A and B are shown apart, each in its own frame.
Chain A
């Protein structure tokens, strides 16, 4: 177990996990209020612990960037009893010292930068302070972690990009960006699984679909996984998209030790 001083130095981490009722049928256990790998590891690890504990009356758990959601039937397990069981599990260890999940993957995902697939690349490069080609290269090479699946089915929150990428969101929500869009802001990338409006800037688009109801599970990537992008040109993009639509895999998946 790591010493308290180690984990208290994590910026944005709470000294103690905060347990709150979210309505009468859910609990939220938060480990901090920042986007931080250690806080995210705590959430992922505690989610796994809760699933292993298999508490009667709990219908599902889900990790987020910095917390764990526990949904339950309050007539099957009284909220007070569930809070007690959760507190016992929280006391088992220093969750902020938890390592990344044991079985996780590195995904290499094709992406076409700039042009119609990444209409904001030039503007992003200006904000980052480099050329568009450099911005595309640096974004693709950065190994980003999956912090959370949320917002909509299969939408992945990735990060953290280097400090130079701490660029603001747009002032206006823009109309629908297509499925596969890679959007950047505040050192993060969001991978869109379906066409949606957004307040973030589009740097690229991938022919890979992070949500596909034909697949089991419908969302293959998981929190804690890492992602690198492989730049492809528009011709290759069109070709890969066709293959993906036919149900072929167009990404590389490698187990991370």
Chain B
């Protein structure tokens, strides 16, 4: 029997995601893919494989998982969730080995919104239109185009192998409460006062959110667009902050509609998209306007950090500060990994 991961219990929104389907917006298909692309890169580094391999995205809450047909290498990234391996606490942003008789339990996110479960070799669910990403609205990707549920068995690709028991430092994006923006395509539909207010006030992330978009609650009045739009739809982009008729902004995310008719006051810079999606429900945050130059510098810095992630990786046992409960670790993995690290 080839290796698989069994979903013993599923949280409300577990989906298989990879890098999505770029290049198809002309057909009305947005790229989709993992909400937090940085977490995908972290998982790839922890397991020593390509960032394009598919993982499970867990919105707010995880589930229970078991390895079938052999041990699996696992990495946990993104929003820090409460994880237990055979009843023992497991630190986040780590890699571990899941033996066939062991149970991996992943609970609620402590901070952040989207956690990721990666496996060595990636999930080998069927590709549809060039990707394994689940797009719920059009029922494609993942398993039968739907969220995962109890009893699902996810096939796992061939794992080239490698050490486990490694840890990466927690990314700065999780807990970031200042999101940088550029003015949106229709910012001039709003008065100067409204634009200034957009930058000055705080917003609460609401729980009315999914992979398509997130409702933001302004601290104060709803927003009002000055000039009426013609209502002819136009293309929207990832990170657009759209203001619908009720004046309560919506951040447009991975599975957004490709076109929309409401004015967009601002667009989140590429380097802060992962920080935006990781803002937990009810958390308060604000927007800061930057120039294009700063947006590009931030993106350059983020790409560099991702390229240098492997240098940040440490064996778990070598950094006790990262260990919530020393006794809970799979010490054998860690020790072996540490020696490999020293001699390589």
Residues of A within 8 A of B (CB): 12, 20-26, 28, 30, 33-35, 47, 59-67, 69, 71, 74-75, 78-79, 148-155, 157, 186, 193-194, 196, 211, 213, 217-219, 223
Contact = CB atoms under 8 A, between A and B. Distances in A.
Contacts of B295: 24, 74
A67 B235 contact: yes
Given A149-B27, A151-B259, A194-B137, A62 B235 contact: yes
A65 B234 CA distance: 7
B197 interface: no
B292 A157 contact: no
Contacts of B257: 150-152
A23 B234 contact: no
A59 B139 contact: no
A69 B296 CA distance: 20
B27 A20 contact: no
B28 A219 contact: yes
B26 A63 contact: yes
Contact of A22 (B22, B28, B29, B240): B240
Contacts of A213: 128-129, 138, 140
B28 A149 contact: yes
- In this complex, which of B22, B235, B303 has the most chain A Cβ atoms within 10 angstroms of its Cβ? B235
A23 B270 contact: yes
Given A22-B240, A23-B182, A23-B240, A211 B138 contact: yes
A74 B239 contact: no
Contacts of B22: 59-60, 71
A21 B35 CA distance: 23
Given A24-B270, A64-B234, A79 B292 contact: yes
24 contacts: A22-B240, A23-B237, A23-B238, A23-B270, A24-B269, A25-B270, A30-B234, A34-B230, A60-B22, A62-B26, A62-B258, A64-B233, A65-B233, A65-B234, A66-B234, A74-B295, A79-B296, A148-B259, A150-B233, A151-B259, A152-B28, A154-B27, A218-B27, A219-B28
A31 to B, nearest CB: 11
Interface in B226-263: 230-240, 257-259
Contacts of B129: 213, 218
Contact of B139 (A22, A63, A74, A194): A194
Contacts of B231: 186
Interface in B96-144: 128-129, 135, 137-140
- The 10 A-B residue pairs with the shortest CB-CB distance, nearest first, are A150-B259, A23-B267, A69-B235, A219-B27, A62-B25, A62-B26, A24-B295, A149-B28, A60-B23, A153-B29
Interface residues of B, number: 42
A193 B28 CA distance: 10
Contacts of B46: none
Contacts of A67: 234-235
B299 interface: yes
Contact of B235 (A59, A64, A157): A64
B185 interface: yes
A166 to B, nearest CB: 12
A25 B237 contact: yes
A67 B185 CA distance: 12
A239 B20 CA distance: 35
A217 B27 contact: yes
A187 B155 CA distance: 49
Contacts of A79: 292, 296
A66 B259 CA distance: 12
A20 B185 contact: yes
A80 to B, nearest CB: 8
A33 to B, nearest CB: 5
A38 to B, nearest CB: 14
B237 A150 contact: no
B268 interface: yes
B195 to A, nearest CB: 16
A1 B27 CA distance: 30
A66 B232 contact: yes
Contacts of B230: 12, 33-34
A151 B28 contact: yes
B138 A153 contact: yes
B302 to A, nearest CB: 10
A212 B341 CA distance: 49
Contacts of B135: 153
Contacts of B239: 23
B79 to A, nearest CB: 24
Contacts of A71: 22, 25, 237
B197 to A, nearest CB: 21
Given A62-B258, A150-B28, A151-B259, A24 B296 contact: yes
A62 B100 CA distance: 47
B249 to A, nearest CB: 15
A151 B138 contact: no
